[in-house]
Amino acid sequence: MMANPIVHALVYLIGLMTFAGLNAAYLVWCERKGAARIQRRTGPCEVGWAGLLQPLADGLKLMTKQLLVPDGVDAALFRLAPVLAMLPGMVALAVIPFGAHLQALDMELSALFIFAFASLAMLCVLLGGWASGNKFAIISSARAVSQNLAYEIPMLLTLITIALISGSLNLREIALDQQGGLFQWNLFRLEGWHILTMWIAFIIFFICSIAETNRAPFDLAEAESELVAGYMTEYSSMGYGLFMMAEYINIVVGACLTTILFLGGWGCPFDVAPGWWWFGLKMYALIFTIIWVRWTYPRTQIYRLLNLSWKVMIPFSLINLLITAGLVKFL
Amino acid sequence: MQALTCNVATPTLFSAEGLVGLIFLLTILMVVGGALIAVLSKWLVRSVAGLALCFTGVAGLYYFLLSPFLAMMQMLIYVGAVSILIAFAIMMVTQAGSDTRHQRKVSALAGPIGISVAMLFFAGFTILALATPWQQFPQEQEGSTRDLGIALLGPHVLIFELISIVLLMAIIGALVHAQRGRNRGTGA
């Protein structure tokens, strides 16, 4: 029952924008609540019941502030960068299959599509940081880019292992391939002994997705204690707000990708009533883990961070790819 | 908008075809506009941003030519890697706010010669494009990743393998270099 394509596009556009906006707003609330619980505080509790209206108040506060463009910045790029920063996450949401029939656009290369646009995020950070004309911002964007480049490689290598197993780069087909219970999921796949290597791929992918979204313990780009707020230092009002929203949308996209690639997408572990609710459950469990990690581990150093990728993750993901190729070929 | 819909000669803007046409025009605008920004901008970093815009537009054109894989690779490699490398190199030597305009001394002849050469090329390519008896080949494959993969690992396997060996050597070389370089530097 395909409606008018424009109506279809509009409905999904509005739906996805709402989804992105609500997630960005309420993940901040979750983050603050989670941080507070881990640090034995209560977190936001004044505005609304259990502070549930806090994101609304924050949004209003950000929007009513002046969008300051300081002297000595490259005004055009300075304004452009936060707007563009939102783009990769929003575009990625369009091709993510949340359920068997809940996907805005079914694309043959949807997995690659997300990574192709993710590389745009780096450019935004770079341009924003440079346009600020601030030493902290430039150091921070240099860090962000070297970090993202380093972690993109093992991430793509693990993506190739998944593509080998599923024989497709279409996220929908990758998820469809994993339907029918826990042991069909790529992470626990008994068929072809993939359970042996997928754990490594999963850990690599998960760590990379944390690093790619510049989250603690890898948030060296916005290390408050040394770089003020990194590439966001000069931004005020919604310029800053858009960067923050982009960060949370990227987290959602990362968790969605991990769910689809390793945890069976919308499939149920016991093969009961598969649907988007299972997808949401897994995705939010992953997001909770990311928040949990952030408030549990201290920030690393930039050299350690880069060494982890270049000297540990890339060799391991290469070896993993080789073993997986062997398993696919000979079993 | 009026002139635009007349140009396309397909149904109104609010049909799927009209929207696709509009997006196609936007893509072309991105390519041309990005190229113009890249060439005309006084600041190098803006030039890089223009270049990235132009690359994105080219990726869009690939998509319209039914080669999604090529479009993705264009995004991943040119926008994601090449532009960033250039921007990185520039950032290391300049700073926003400081005067980073192109400081070059060009002779008075450079402009006229450049324009005449460019026009010569343009005329040549136009004549070539108009004079060539283009043959319409029936579309045999969808240009899908599957077909591309079969083509790469079938008839063109030698080239493919050679390139992948070169790339693998570069990666391993970089890894070995990174492993040794720091230890030698600090003596640790």
CATH number of the domain where residue B2 is located: 1.20.120.1200
Q: What percent of the residues of chain B are helix, what percent strand, and what percent coil, each to the nearest 5?
A: 75, 0, 25
Work out the percent of chain A whose per-residue pLDDT is above 90.
1
Statement: residue A231 has pLDDT above 80: no
Among the candidates B86, B101, B116, a domain finishes at B101
Nearest to A72 by CA among B97, B78, B177, B170: B97
Residue range B119-131: average pLDDT? 91
Give yes or no: residues B97 and B151 share one domain: no
Give yes or no: residues B94 and B160 share one domain: no
Residues A141 and A138: their CA atoms lie apart, in Å, by 5
Distance from CA of B122 to the nearest CA of A (A): 32
Q: Is the CB of residue A188 less than 8 Å from the CB of residue A182?
A: yes
Among the candidates B101, B126, B159, a domain finishes at B101
Select the residue from B67, B76, B90 to test the A interface by mutation, using most A Cβ atoms within 10 A. B76
- CB-based burial label for B90 (10 Å; 0-12, 13-18, 19+): middle
Residue A133: alpha-carbon gap to chain centroid = 28
Q: What is the pLDDT of residues A172-229, one digit of tens each?
A: 888 888 887 777 777 777 777 777 788 888 899 999 888 888 777 877 777 777 777 7
The pLDDT value given to residue A177: 81
CB atoms within 10 A of CB A89: 26
Q: How far is CA A272 from CA A180, A182, A184, A277, in A?
A: 9, 11, 14, 12
Does B49 reside within a domain?
A: yes
H helix or E strand, kind and range, residue A157: helix A135-166
Instruction: Give yes or no for A145 touching B (CB within 8 A).
Output: yes
Does B25 reside within a domain?
A: yes
Q: Is the CB of residue A220 less than 8 Å from the CB of residue A300?
A: yes
Domain hosting residue B82, numbered range? 1-101
Chain A residue numbers touching B73 (CB-CB < 8 A): 116
CB atoms within 10 A of CB A18: 10
Distance from CA of B84 to the nearest CA of A (A): 6
Give yes or no: residues B91 and B149 share one domain: no
Give yes or no: residues B14 and B70 share one domain: yes
Does B125 reside within a domain?
A: no
Give yes or no: residues B148 and B96 share one domain: no
What counts of helices (H) and strands (E) characterise chain B?
Answer: 8, 0
Distance from CA of B175 to the nearest CA of A (A): 7
Residue range A1-19: average pLDDT? 78
Among the candidates B101, B134, B160, a domain finishes at B101
Residues A33 and A10: their CA atoms lie apart, in Å, by 34
Instruction: Give yes or no for A125 touching B (CB within 8 A).
Output: no
Considering only residues A294 and B107, tell me which one the structure prediction assigns the higher pLDDT: A294
Q: Is the peptide bond before A274 cis (omega within 30 degrees of 0)?
A: no
Give yes or no: residues B87 and B12 share one domain: yes
Structure tokens at A42: 């209560």
Residue from the list B19, B75, B95 with its beta carbon closest to the beta carbon of A117: B75
* Residue with tokens 């010669």, as numbered in its chain: B113
Query: DSSP label at A238?
Result: H
